[in-house]
Amino acid sequence: MPDCSLSPKLYRRLVNGVLPSETLTCVLLSLGHRRVAVCLPSATRGALWLSSSSALQESSRDLAGSSALGAALPVLLAASVVLLPPRGRSASVTGGLGCWDSRFDDMSSGSRDEVLQDKRTRILSRGLPKQKPIEGVKQVLVVASGKGGVGKSTAAVNIALALAANDSAKEVGLLDADIYGPSIPKMMNLKGNPELTPKNLMRPLKNYGIACMSMGFLIEEAAPVVWRGLMVMSAVEKLLRQVDWGQLDYLVIDMPPGTGDVQLSISQNIPIAGAVIISTPQDVALLDARKGTEMFRKVHVPVLGLVQNMSVFRCPKCEHETHIFGADGVRDLAKTLGLDVLGDIPLHVNIRETCDSGQPVVISQPQSDAAKAYLKIAVEIVRRLPAPPA
């Protein structure tokens, strides 16, 4: 029976996460309260326990790739070096808590990888909160961007209005999840505090047939929200769970920019039918758009496609077209990511003016090129959404 320097549970997590098809030395680093696994090629058998950074530095000279460990030395508290077996051999470690013996005698490399991947998925899923649908809401659509200033909120408002305009039988809601910078109240021309139902739920404010909820309804317009992360998460939870949405076919959520706590919490706590990523064509925006897309993929949220905003400026006098932020950058990114471009929104003063006045272009100028672009995007979104639950 082999000795073990790790508890069976922790060792299984290590194996499930990093076991390769060839022999590797796997180093588990304890960095404060975090544990990080580092794989290093090695022909050495056996295992050792190192209780200090100096001991690690002394012993790691015999390990190939020890530079990876050297970078961690300033904050290293302890390390355990474990040899993982090739096919047909046992995995063993020395000393410590309990034991674990792992054999793969009768498995091919492919079968072994599949089993370990399945185990790893089950282990990781244990720590995630269970998703609970929002009462009365059939499908949730999130509109997101990797960075601010790319027209995400303007797009979210007009997409919500376009969804309703394309099918008058559909009920649409709009949730402003940007706690620090809520803009839905102004764009939708809404003011006032939500009323409470007999069940102590907030009743959304409504305009243009869209039910809206925002932190902007609960604070003064000029008041900054100076909150720590936990308070923001509590506010988001209330906006999700303590609102009487009635019966909605679509709830459009205007996400804050970036890939932070709010995005992660919403993605993990409610089922999301799809995400739409808004970006302008310039490189600095595309870098962040890619990060946003990858984040949603990691939390298993379907990315329906990208929208290229501010794609072209057409001179109102001579009709000359200028690509101020670059041409087709979003299309190139979409191709790289294997996604579709749902549509292009031009850079036009009417889009800005109509939102500033609380009369979004889809409502106030439905025959304009900008409105038609949003209406087309809404059609493409609905085409890609999964069938709603019965």
User: Of 126, 161, 178, which one is at a domain's C-terminal end?
Assistant: 126
Asked whether residue 132 is domain-assigned, the answer is: no
Secondary structure class of 343 (helix, strand, coil):
strand
pLDDT tens track for 290-319:
999 999 999 899 999 999 999 878 777 787
pLDDT of residue 261: 84
Q: Are residues 49 and 165 in the same domain?
A: no
Q: Are residues 278 and 207 in the same domain?
A: yes
Q: Are residues 192 and 88 in the same domain?
A: no
CA distance 40 to 65: 6
Asked whether residue 60 is domain-assigned, the answer is: yes
User: Given 3-state DSSP classes, what are the helix, strand and coil percentages for the chain, each rounded to the nearest 5?
Assistant: 35, 20, 40
Q: Are residues 153 and 299 in the same domain?
A: yes
What residue spans of 299-345 are helical by DSSP H?
Answer: 329-337
pLDDT tens track for 238-252:
999 999 999 999 999
pLDDT of residue 108: 57
End-to-end CA distance of the chain: 54
pLDDT of residue 43: 34
CATH number at residue 156: 3.40.50.300
What's the full length of the chain, in residues? 390
Q: Are residues 170 and 256 in the same domain?
A: yes
CA distance 374 to 380: 10
Burial of 286 per CB tally in 10 Å (0-12, 13-18, 19+):
buried
Of the candidates 161, 240, 244, 159, the one whose C-alpha atom is nearest the C-alpha of residue 199 is 244
Identify each DSSP E strand in the chain by its residue range.
24-31, 34-41, 48-50, 78-84, 137-144, 172-176, 205-207, 210-214, 248-254, 274-279, 303-314, 321-322, 341-347
Look up the domain containing 370 and give its range.
137-384
Q: Are residues 194 and 319 in the same domain?
A: yes
Asked whether residue 3 is domain-assigned, the answer is: no
Q: Are residues 193 and 225 in the same domain?
A: yes
Asked whether residue 268 is domain-assigned, the answer is: yes
Q: Are residues 97 and 246 in the same domain?
A: no
Q: Are residues 329 and 245 in the same domain?
A: yes
Asked whether residue 390 is domain-assigned, the answer is: no
Q: Are residues 53 and 197 in the same domain?
A: no
Other C-beta atoms closer than 10 Å to the C-beta of 178 total 23
User: Which residue ranges of the chain lie beneath pLDDT 50?
Assistant: 1-8, 10-11, 13-106
Q: Are residues 51 and 160 in the same domain?
A: no
Burial of 390 per CB tally in 10 Å (0-12, 13-18, 19+):
exposed
Asked whether residue 193 is domain-assigned, the answer is: yes
Asked whether residue 69 is domain-assigned, the answer is: yes
pLDDT of residue 51: 32
Asked whether residue 247 is domain-assigned, the answer is: yes
* Domain count across the chain: 2
- DSSP state letter for 377: H
CA distance 132 to 39: 37
Q: Are residues 96 and 200 in the same domain?
A: no
